[in-house]
A and B are shown apart, each in its own frame.
Chain A
């Protein structure tokens, strides 16, 4: 399958601890199986403790790109947390960017303290509609909670991304990458979570 653009630039964003790295690795593995060059740049360090985190994925048939996407050059943004979608699109968005966004906020301490406002979900949606060519809002954390495992949010979001068909990958390739990443007892839950994610965006 072909890329809609080369390099295709994907950003996965969220808050430290939400499983950004795992999600980016899973997608990266699936792409390498299909013989793409993939470079992933992650946020490391102190931000992993509750800070804003990002994984940059550069996908190409031609060459290995740097692990950092230049400003304004993101093609797809997957956000595990809603305001993080806005933060990333402010810096990396452009008129043709697409976004897949989880609706569950994680409040920054500035908000819990009352020093800053967290925007309403409606306002976030409206802003994203203004700044993206297409956006999907999904209740990934709620579904993960129904599985009894909020950590599955990231896999559900990978499923939601797969459901959009923005990546040139078949379900089978994702399935193999999930099997490779979760060889143990958690495989079936992760596969189920992935499929629930796909349903959230497929055909929408």
Chain B
């Protein structure tokens, strides 16, 4: 049972940060939720989708982040509370709408945008601090530091949004969104509002300069509200030797550093949950008691630089300070922060030595294990259709011999940058950008460019951002092949359904937007293949790259192996015939385990032969086709 719908106020539950955010929205009486999946934000709308029917709310997976926020805004304009959630890249995609919506204002229903950042790029291509959107958009910002706050702040964000008719941004990070902790549940409201658009109202950004001025006045009002917010608190001595100023996940690490170094009597922590606009009076009050400040926050020095700006205005009346943080190098301005980093930063500033464990043990443990532990490279799952598609592409490009290459974008198939996909993908940026790049490469023949270009994109990415690039290519008569890796899922982010899967976010049947028919309607050549049929796929790729001129599309269609394993029995039983496998003497140079590298295949060093790992093998049978002496046997189940 999903915990987020539990009608048990006061109950103590273990919730993922994203579930806590979803619960906060439910406690606020949210009626409309829309998002495009992207980690670390996916479970916010994902968990709401699971309870949508029962809670009587509308939840959708939108085609991209901009559309998701637009859809949510319409509910706000019609008087309903609405939420959209996205990862940092999603904020970029939605930013054009956000930076007009700030001027138009929202409707009578509160509208909340959750931006979940991924410090350290644990599940992202880029590292980025999305708090910038609050500053350039003059939008109120809230940053939860605990799981409880993730819930409580989200609920409050709706109230704040309605109080000032503005979009409110809640910024989370991976270590809140994707971590789990205790949350005490609150009340779930029973009342539902009726949606109606008041036609006497208009939502437009013109006259922009006047609205911009009005927005600044709204923000001043928010600043006053933030001065007494329960999301800001101080813990520590009255006159600390060091004042740590922190937000978000930095709060946990700051607390741990002070505890670990036993500096409770010396170091204070000012935890700010309302980070834009900053509660300047509250900051001045605490900063007047300290001479040294250490900023602890994730990704950019947002808090740090904004507080410095205030300090410059106050100096010298309120005081002058030594600043420690990202600028001073005590906290690095890139990657994730963690308890060790903050313990060491405080240790350095306070000149209090810290050793995590007995030095002799630490060195011994590192040396003994380092010598034994092999690296674990990322790879496509056993039976992943992407491996087969890239094997076919590799084979076709080699046969073609003109130095063809692949431009890619974001999804599981990004792994084709490395050995998992035989180093086939050469570029990776934003959603759909492989196809956008291909449209440009496809114009370079006038400058002597004669290499075949293939772009790859996933099925969900196709709908998200690749369609405009495809149309650009067709309109401008660009020369390239677009390969749609259709695995019938948004696999990387947790198998969410999308426009092509025939299912909505809440599990009801949906019309299938057929990629094949859509491409055919654009008047271009479209082929489909099953990547598990290597020969057919290779031939089709070769034929398509040989047909010079215009855009051609290949849809490589085979279900994600992880989805398939849940839905159906394996097609084949696969084993290696030890009589036929010639090992090192074969001449294949261990093609199956050394190059093809499906995790379901193992090189048995002792026996000098390959074998199949029965735990990992999914029975796709593709490896049987790559073994030169046909030693890999597949038998239909």
Contact = CB atoms under 8 A, between A and B. Distances in A.
B123 A46 contact: yes
Contacts of B182: 32, 37-38, 64
Interface in B326-363: 338-340, 343, 356-358, 361-362
Contacts of B601: 112
Q: Counting chain B CB atoms within 10 Å of each CB, which of A64, A70, A107, A123 scores highest? A: A70
B123 A44 contact: yes
Contacts of B255: 63, 66
A197 interface: no
Interface in B1-52: 1, 12-14, 39-40
Contacts of B594: 113-114
B369 A28 contact: no
6 contacts: A32-B13, A41-B175, A44-B123, A49-B378, A65-B252, A112-B603
Contacts of B147: 39, 64
B364 interface: yes
B285 interface: no
Interface string B243-269: 000000100110110001000000000
Given A38-B180, A49-B415, A86 B369 contact: yes
Nearest to B123: A45
Contact of A131 (B14, B368, B412): B368
Given A32-B12, A38-B14, A109-B597, A67 B357 contact: no
Nearest to A108: B376
Interface stretch (A89-97, A162-170, A188-196): A89-97
A40 interface: yes
Contact of B362 (A37, A38, A72, A87): A72
Contacts of A117: 374
Contact of B373 (A38, A66, A90, A180): A90
B590 interface: yes
Contacts of B599: 50, 106, 109, 112
Interface string A97-135: 000000010111111111011110001100100110000
B379 A49 contact: yes
Contacts of B590: 113-114
B380 interface: yes
A95 B338 CA distance: 23
Contacts of B368: 86, 90, 127, 130-131
Interface residues of A, number: 67
B628 interface: no
A73 B40 CA distance: 26
Contacts, number: 202
Nearest to B147: A64
B235 to A, nearest CB: 11
B357 A71 contact: yes
Contacts of B616: 106
Contact of A38 (B181, B361, B377, B603): B181
Contacts of A130: 364, 368
A44 B178 contact: yes
Given A68-B339, A90-B366, A112 B377 contact: no
A72 B339 CA distance: 12
Interface string B583-611: 00000001001100101011101000000
Interface of A: 15, 17, 24-25, 28-29, 32, 35, 37-47, 49-52, 63-73, 83, 86-87, 89-91, 93-95, 104, 106-114, 116-119, 123-124, 127, 130-131, 141, 145, 150, 180, 183
Interface in B358-400: 358, 361-362, 364-366, 368-370, 372-381
A40 B180 CA distance: 5
Contacts of B180: 24-25, 28, 38-40, 42, 67
Nearest to B491: A49
Contacts of A118: 374
A145 to B, nearest CB: 7
A95 B378 contact: no
Given A42-B178, A49-B379, A64-B252, 18 more contacts: A15-B376, A44-B174, A49-B415, A50-B381, A65-B256, A66-B253, A67-B180, A87-B369, A93-B365, A94-B361, A106-B599, A107-B602, A110-B374, A110-B377, A112-B597, A114-B593, A116-B374, A131-B365
A46 B415 contact: yes
Contacts of A108: 374-377
Nearest to A81: B376
Given A50-B378, A72-B357, A67 B175 contact: yes
Interface in B177-201: 178-182
A47 B256 contact: no
Given A15-B376, A29-B14, A94-B358, A70 B415 contact: no
Nearest to B492: A46
B375 A50 contact: no
Nearest to A141: B615
Nearest to A50: B379
A63 B256 CA distance: 11
A86 to B, nearest CB: 4
B374 A68 contact: no
Nearest to B374: A116
A70 to B, nearest CB: 4
Most A C-beta atoms less than 10 A away, residue of B124, B147, B256: B256
B16 to A, nearest CB: 8
A72 to B, nearest CB: 3
A130 B260 CA distance: 27
Given A109-B377, A114-B594, A68 B175 contact: yes
A89 B123 contact: no
B378 A44 contact: no
What 6 A-B pairs have minimum CB-CB distances, sorted nearest first?
Answer: A45-B123, A72-B357, A90-B369, A66-B252, A67-B179, A72-B356
A110 B118 CA distance: 28
B488 interface: no
B181 A40 contact: yes
A45 B14 contact: no
B122 interface: yes
B419 interface: yes
A162 to B, nearest CB: 18
A186 to B, nearest CB: 13
Nearest to A120: B372
